[in-house]
Structure 1
Amino acid sequence: MPAPSIARGYSGEPCPDSFNIARYCLARGAAETPDKTALIVVTDADAPLAEAECWTYGELDEAVRRVAAGLLAEGFKPGERIMIRMPNTSEYALMFFGGLAAGIVPLPSSSQLTSAEADFLLSDSAASAVALAPDMNMTAEGVRILDAEAVARLREHEPLKDYAATSANDPAFLVYTSGTSGRPKGVLHAHRSAWGRRPMYRGWYGMDATDIMLHAGAFNWTYTLGVGLTDPWANCATTVLYNGEKDVQVWPKLMEKTGATLFAAVPTLYRQILKYCDLDAHDLSALRHGLTAGEALSPALLSHWREATGKELYEALGMSECSTYVSTGPGMEIRAGSPGKPQPGRCVAALPVDDGSEPLPPGETGLLAVHRSDPGLMLGYWRRPDEEAEVYRGEWFIGGDLASFDADGYMWYHGRADDLMNAMGYRVSPQEVEAALTGHPDIQEVAVTELHVREDVTVIAAFVVPKEASEPDAASILKWAADRLAAYKCPREVVFVESLPRTANGKVMRRTLAKR
């Protein structure tokens, strides 16, 4: 079958030359519906909704411009990087969008990171400051610390009269993802990245200003920053975020209490909701459908959710470098096992694994590629020219996923071309986990990979060759990992082996271990 004719390049509406993410998300809502609720932050799912923290578009717009003015008044310059190490609070959102509004580059980070991991991000990014919550540990040597008092002081400034006059290609924010070298690498996004999300509005969400989006994620993740904040606000919708105690029971409560029309989470959480929650005890009539990304949605989970709720689950596939670009959405046939089709305007293809930039014909498996003209694609990797060179092939960006397209344009996922793992939607480098474990006094060698524990469930497992005369102790190794790695990076299983399988060149065969 001949290769399909693919329009080379992004064919959606072009991004304006002058573009600022914060203005794009907040200015229209503040001007047209200033009294409409933009953000609800719930801490207690059992308390009346009236007791939750609520922000109107007018209030949010003003607070963001106050933070922006405060940052500039206190000496920060456009283009500087400020790391955010805070819990899932409105202050986090204000710091992120306040930085964007000032032309400063925020670096959102996970509250789960250990002190050493956070210090690496701070050092690698060359950030000049860190907004640091009192209970977030890190060394933060040689940089300015914006504590709770300083963050509050920023909001006392007179608001900027207008958002920074940034261009579409100016750096906007920096996020970190797993690197092929085992060190996390910074992904630098431009302001145009928010415009690059527009194909999702109809191709995934079916979103408009009447929607109430409930997102289950944390702010450090691009899935939450985009789906939970950027996109609802760009559509003048309402977003709801929860920052209370972790309990799967809160999600159907919040769907009912807030009248959520859209709910976004990873498949693992949907699975837990179905297992532990009595959905018949809650009124979910307002919910149109659920959204899922970060992990593959299994046909079994999709079927179970449909049976239990009568609602659809629309899946999307993406990456830190380009957010989501393949999805299913309202009015579109769902083919169980496929995340859907490239969203309208996207130019996506499967390229030959070894070499070549001509898209493969339907049915053939290759490297999933996005055209470099896509406005959602990153500016590049922060100070990693070697790793950046590896992901571009001519006019295409290649993220390392193996995929094929059928004759109707649906994408089918065939795994990774490298060894990167998926943990609760986060991509994790096995080399990073191995590097943290090698210092354990009882470990001679270690290899880390994903291990299937059920048909649609995987965990990170460490295969350990213990030192001679040692007494292998899995609990000790798991604690060692927990002291050095964010929780989502930690192994859940330790398997003791006599040796690690290797190629003739001495490379560890992680996939062989995964089949054990």
Structure 2
Amino acid sequence: MSIAKPWIASYPPETAPSLEYPRVPLTHFLEEAAAEFPDHHALYFMGKRITYRELLTMSYQFANALLRRGIKKGDRVAIMLPNCPQAVISYYGALFAGATVVMTNPLYTERELIHQLNDSGAETIITVDLLYKRVTQVRPSTPLKRLIITSIGDFLPLVKSWLYPLVQWKQGQKPQVVYSSDVEAFLAVLKESAVTPVKPDIDPENDLALLQYTGGTTGVAKGVMLTHLNLIANALQCRAVLYKCQRGRERILGVLPLFHVYGMTTVMNQGISIAAELILVPKFNVKEILGLIDKTKPTLFPGAPTMYIGLINHPDLAKYDLKSIEACVSGSAPLPVEVQNRFEELTGGKLVEGYGLTEASPVTHSNPIWGRRINGSIGLPWPDTDCKIVDPATGEELPNGEIGELAVRGPQVMLGYWNRPEETAAVLRDGWLLTGDMAYMDEQGYFYIVDRKKDMIIAGGFNIYPREVEEVLFEHPAIQEAAVIGVPDPYRGETVKAFVVFKQGQEVSQSDLDEHCRKRLAAYKIPRLYEVRTELPKTMVGKVLRRQLQEEEKARREQTEEVNQEQEKTS
């Protein structure tokens, strides 16, 4: 059944509503860029530059190294690295070897890491020396057979690479890596390997390029199965929307982590597909980013609202030139209008809000960058992306303007969840992906997110699932009940607030709870606010009403604002 697509009439004339997607492996983009622009810079990292020829050669070397170590087509290879050249080389090297990449967040605690490695079955991991101890501690509880260890210093300019070990030692961060036949150094693995081109036998529509883990309302992280075609499609859709970008001429500020699917697509896959230079940033620091923009002149800056808020509010902002930036797509959280306007004023470029989810590689919508945009809207569906609003109870399509669940369909939508057929069936219906987000569409085909069906919290661009945090709190011997919600935060978008009920006769401090959580959760998931209660609101069957807690929190904020306004009037 065909569906009405009013959004196509709202497309800029330069963006085609339907595209051609070549049936090739994702590695094709890198080979194509290296053939056309061999001496153009592919990567910039802390002063070090790597050309497309060099990047392709090292990717081939890494692929040959993996093949020599017994990696077969479909084997899962975990990459647990910050944004650095090794992350890109490992990614394309694993794909050339025919493996499926498992991007792993370096912030994961041992508990989170054990789950992901066991669930994916990854036997090989590439990580940084600073994380060596954490990986070796979880190794006996996982299928890991092989560790490939790199250092940030491995790809620094010559003088910086000499100084880096000294800096590590002075900061007490010099890790003691014990190398062996199954714990190897990244550079040694590269240097001993052939540069022979590797041609994997890939079926782009069915072979997995990536297992990208996402949480769920159950708190269990699920592996999203993304094929080569899924990722190629989303990169090409991104190119169609960024139609002013010139092949071989762009520089992309890679602040979004590549281990997050948003950064992977909008920085790495899309960037390499247009032979751009990727300016890799391992850690977001506002002053350093301002200096980097001033120095390297990026033209594209995909990001999250937190990043733009940090930049426009920095006291030294006036000292830096940001005029090179031409286009930014903001994702992961709603973009405040005042932030959008101020950032555009400072850069002269365009900043628009988009929308996506891991299960869609991830982008499905954005406002036109050089066309009509609507504040508060996530914009128009991308080319070849069908969308409809459905009744969450019946699945029936709803008319324009009515709020229901957003469902999407397109070449970027996942195959399903790894080894979870029941959970796959719950969200994929006849090719339609149920997003879990409540939305509506206007007459021109612009979409608006009004609420989340799931209770997910987005803090600083990171997804946090309340159930996971609650389960960690429940593990504390003094806690009887816990509920977690997101509350507004001027910097992070949202922050985590926990409501706790202590067992009779027991009570602990917030610092004790922080320490408990810090051992079990990545830093961005730890509650910033706590409220102690004698009981939590529940349904008749005993389910905690998070929605009621959110409403109470909202009413309290509004009351506080009213009191403040009254005080201002009388002062």
* Normalised TM-score (structure 2): 0.83
Indicate the residue corresponding to 1:354 in structure 2.
Answer: 393
Match of 1:513 among 543, 549, 558: 549
Aligned to 1:47: none
Shift of 1:295: 0.8
- 1:326/1:343 contact within 8 Å kept: yes
Establish whether residue 22 from structure 1 lines up as the match of residue 27 from structure 2.
Answer: yes
Residue 293 (structure 2) aligns with: 255
Gaps of 5+ in 2: 7-15, 150-183, 554-571
2:255 is the counterpart of 1:228? no
Q: In the TM superposition, what is the alpha-carbon distance from 1:381 to its structure 2 partner?
A: 0.3
Q: Aligned equivalents of 1:106 and 1:113: distance in 2?
A: 17
Match of 1:392 among 407, 425, 428: 428
Which residue of 2 is the match for residue 159 of structure 1? 195
User: Per the alignment, in what secondary structure is the counterpart of residue 107 of structure 2?
Assistant: coil
Q: State the alpha-carbon separation in 2 of the partners of residues 16 and 289 from structure 1.
A: 26
For 2:421 and 2:477, the matched residues in 1 are separated by 35
Q: Name the TM-score, length of structure 1 as normaliser.
A: 0.92
Contact kept? 2:325, 2:348, Cα under 8 Å: no
Within 2, Cα distance between the matches of 1:457 and 1:31?
42
Partners of 1:135 and 1:119 in 2: how far apart? 18
Q: Deviations along 1:176-213, whole A, 9 cap, x unmatched?
A: 01123211111111000222111211325743321111
Letter in 1 for 2:331: A
Q: Counterpart in 1 of 2:341? A: 303
Match of 2:372 among 302, 311, 333: 333
How far is 1:301 from its partner? 1.9
Task: Confirm whether residue 414 of structure 1 aligns to residue 419 of structure 2.
Answer: no
Q: Which moved more, 1:349-358 or 1:300-309?
A: 300-309
Residue type at the aligned position of 2:139: A
Residue-by-residue CA offset, 1:58-94 (whole Å, 9 max, x unaligned): 0101111111111111111110001122333211221
Q: Distance in 2 between matches of 1:473 and 1:205?
A: 54
Tell me which residue corresponds to 2:43.
39
1:317 aligns to what SS in structure 2? strand
Pair 1:404-2:443 in alignment:
no
Q: Where is the helix percentage greater, Structure 1 or Structure 2?
A: 2
CA distance in 1, matches of 2:390, 2:349: 35
Aligned ranges 1:203-222 → 2 under 5 Å = 203-204=241-242, 206-209=244-247, 210-222=249-261
Secondary structure of the structure 2 residue equivalent to 1:449:
strand
The Cα offsets for residues 278-305 of structure 1, whole Å up to 9 and x where unpaired, read as 3321122221132211111122322332
Match of 1:146 in 2: 147
Q: 2:495 aligns with which of 434, 459, 475?
A: 459
Give the counterpart letter for 2:187 in structure 1: A
- Report what 2:214 is aligned to: 177
Match of 1:63 among 58, 69, 72: 58
CA deviation vs aligned residue, 1:466-500 (integer Å, no higher than 9, x gap): 12222331121122111111112111111111111
Q: Note the C-alpha offset of 1:312.
A: 2.4
**2:436 is aligned with 1:431:** no
Q: CA RMSD in A?
A: 2.2
Q: Does 1:497 align with 2:533?
A: yes
Q: Distance in 1 between matches of 2:243 and 2:483?
A: 39
CA contact (8 A) 1:205 1:330 kept: no
Distance 1:453 1:474 in 2: 19
Q: Please give the per-residue CA displacement for 1:294-323, whole angstroms capped at 9, x wherever unaligned.
A: 111122322332344443212210011111
Match of 2:565 in 1: none
Q: State the partner residue of 1:49.
A: none
Show the counterpart of 1:314: 352
CA contact (8 A) 2:300 2:328 kept: yes
**Match for residue 46 of structure 1?**
none
User: Distance in 2 between the 1:368 and 1:314 partners?
Assistant: 20
Supply the distance in 1 between the matched residues of 2:82 and 2:336 (Cα, whole angstroms): 31
CA contact (8 A) 2:326 2:348 kept: no
Name the structure 2 match of 1:190. 227
Percent sequence identity over matched residues? 30
CA distance in 1, matches of 2:522, 2:431: 35
Which protein has the larger Cα radius of gyration, Structure 1 or Structure 2? 2
**Residue 309 of structure 2 contacts residue 491 of structure 2 at CA under 8 Å; is this kept in 1?**
no
In the TM superposition, what whole-angstrom CA distance separates every residue of 1:74-131 from its partner, at most 9, and x where no partner exists?
Answer: 1111100011223332112211111111110111111111122111110111112222
Q: 1:366 aligns with which of 398, 404, 420?
A: 404
Q: Match for 1:140: what amino acid?
A: R
Q: Does residue 1:78 correspond to 2:73, yes or no?
A: yes
- Residue 419 of structure 1 and its aligned partner are, at CA, apart by 1.5
Q: Would the alpha carbon gap of residues 95 and 87 (structure 1) be closer, same or farther in structure 2, given more than 3 Å must change?
A: same
Q: Per the alignment, in what secondary structure is the counterpart of residue 35 of structure 1?
A: coil
Q: How far apart, in 1, do the equivalents of 2:291 and 2:127 lie?
A: 31
Residues 285-300 of structure 1: pairs in structure 2 closer than 5 A: 285-300=323-338
How far apart, in 2, do the equivalents of 1:16 and 1:306 lie? 35
Deviation at 1:454, TM superposition (A): 5.1
**Cα offset for 1:511?**
1.4
